[in-house]
Amino acid sequence: MTADTGTVHYLLLPSLPAPGGAATAESPELASGLAAGRAALAVALFASDDAARADLAAAEAQLVACLDAGGVARNAGSAAAGGAARFVILTAAGPRTVVACHVPARRTGPGAPGDLERLAEAGWRFGAAAPGGTLYWPAGSRVGDALPREDADEWGGLRDAQREALWHGAVLGGADPAEGDSSEHAARAVRPIFGDGAVVSDRAQRQAAAVAWVRRLTERPPNLLGPAELAAEISALAEGAGVQCEVWAGDELASRGFGATIGVGSGSERAPRVVRLTWGSDAAAAATLGLVGKGITFDSGGLNVKQDSSEMSWMKADMAAAAALSAALVLSAQATGADLADGRRVEAILPLCENVISGTAQRPGDVVTHPGGATSEVVDTDCEGRLVLADGIAWCRERGHAVILDAGTLTDGGAGLRASGVWSNHEGLARAVEHAGRVALDPVWPIPLPYGEESALESRVAGVRNAPLDRPDMGRHAASYLGGFAGDVPWVHIDLGGTAFLEAPLAGRPEGATGAGTLVSAEVAEAWLRGAPLIA
């Protein structure tokens, strides 16, 4: 295996000897640490084609030779059809098992995950299989396509990003999003050991904590988390970070024009709330990024009730976007502190309500009024998320916000379960959000907003219908509806319907709440606060 083959992909261990070289002093030390259960290591070897099998075998032979002296048990097996891939599973003789950390070969083309995303997924697998374990990253390690050259130090920045991506995934994979006390969560935490003595950055730790908070809140049983309780949780998070927070309820919602939020929540005894978070310049002319997050604490579908238990079983997670954008704004505030571009501000508007059935519930045929006076005909009470988002978007537009980002668990017609679908009225903004998703390991996939979809939403009695009547409702219809409330303001919609809550494990991630949407939104908000145009 030479430095320029580019055919074998693996977790690179510079402590291993180069082909034909002798074992270094660190190699037996690592092996003995594994055997004693003091460290944990997962190594993946992947050959991208059959022609690379010889290189793959050579790489495996090196690894085995270096670890034999420490008494580390190993098990090799095929990981792909045709034997073109295998991964070495190292099992410590001590109390802890080391699980395979499979980092797939690079794929190219639209939607292909990047190196950091693959590492994060590998970390999820590690954390899920070995909660409370120790993740060992030897000095100088990085993921690459070949053994390091003499000038490997120039990869230091990439190395830092890669090990933090692996650690971040491991922390989230090991975390149990179910409620529990701090000692239970601490016992499951994956502990990193970096061979060069480095530590996980404060930024990475804040990000992991924020996503864990979103996941725990999303898993909260709906009888314990109504609009008031969710507002209180968000308020506490904001207060801890010094973020300005207001909670609107009752007559204040009506006076501010949030008619759709009032309508959606009218069937529940638990009154709706709207939370407003603000960070940044307090100048009247500040350029503001508006974040709008759907916060339906439980969604029965209303009078257009959901058809079966499989549709309703995870509807406690219909507030995931509000939690994600709350955490995103707080993360951006923590990241920027006083280091803000002049005249920049971020404001989050989070409508919170419960969509259930009663004699006072919203009816198909009702007309609701949004901030600024625009109206919607409610033809489907189970399309309530876009109604409350329209309230928030209209509020931001009326206040002259420069850019609007909204997020919600609206449809399953987005980009699948790995990436959240994105629609926008501004190509540059869509690209900026896609880039933010790659950087933040929270992938999104831009989808064109077809011209003419608004014709399916025309209403005779209001400005717009909230869903089509003559065709199946899809993500593009929800996006087209929301885009109308943004008007000419640059706007982007992130659909978390397939990504915020997994009904079965996927790509190393356990079933349940994922925290999707948190980090991509935080990356966008931080960039805005630091002066990025976003809409160039």
486, 425 Cβ separation under 8 angstroms:
yes
Rounded Cα distance, 32 and 12, in Å: 19
DSSP single-letter state for residue 357: -
Cα dihedral sign, 387-393-399-400: negative
SS3 109: coil
> Choosing from 53, 106, 306, 418, which is the catalytic residue?
306
CB 392 within 8 A of CB 485: no
Q: Is the dihedral of CA 359, 364, 365, 366 positive or negative?
A: positive
d(CA 290, CA 492): 10
Cβ-based neighbours of 435, under 8 Å, separated by 6 or more: none
Tokens 């495996």 map to which residue? 60
How far are the Cα atoms of 172, 218, 365 from residue 188, in angstroms, in the given order? 10, 19, 50
CA-to-CA distance for 384 and 405, rounded, in angstroms? 18
Whether 294 is a known active-site residue: answer: no
Q: How far apart are CA 146 and CA 6, in angstroms?
A: 6
Considering only CA atoms, which of 122, 198, 190 is closest in space to residue 160? Answer: 198
Q: Which of 220, 294, 345, 386 is catalytic?
A: 386
Question: Measured between alpha carbons, how far is 318 from 311 in angstroms, rounded to an integer?
Answer: 12
Q: Are 298 and 220 in contact (CB under 8 A)?
A: no
Residue pair 247/350 in contact (Cβ under 8 Å)? The answer is no
Phi/psi for 100 (5° steps) reads: -65, 140
What stretch of H or E contains 386? helix 384-398
- Let me know if 316 is a catalytic residue: no
Q: Which helix (H) or strand (E) holds 346?
A: strand 344-355
Tokens describing residue 294: 């759907």
Cα–Cα distance for residue pair 56/148, rounded to 1 Å: 16
Enzyme catalytic residues: 306, 386
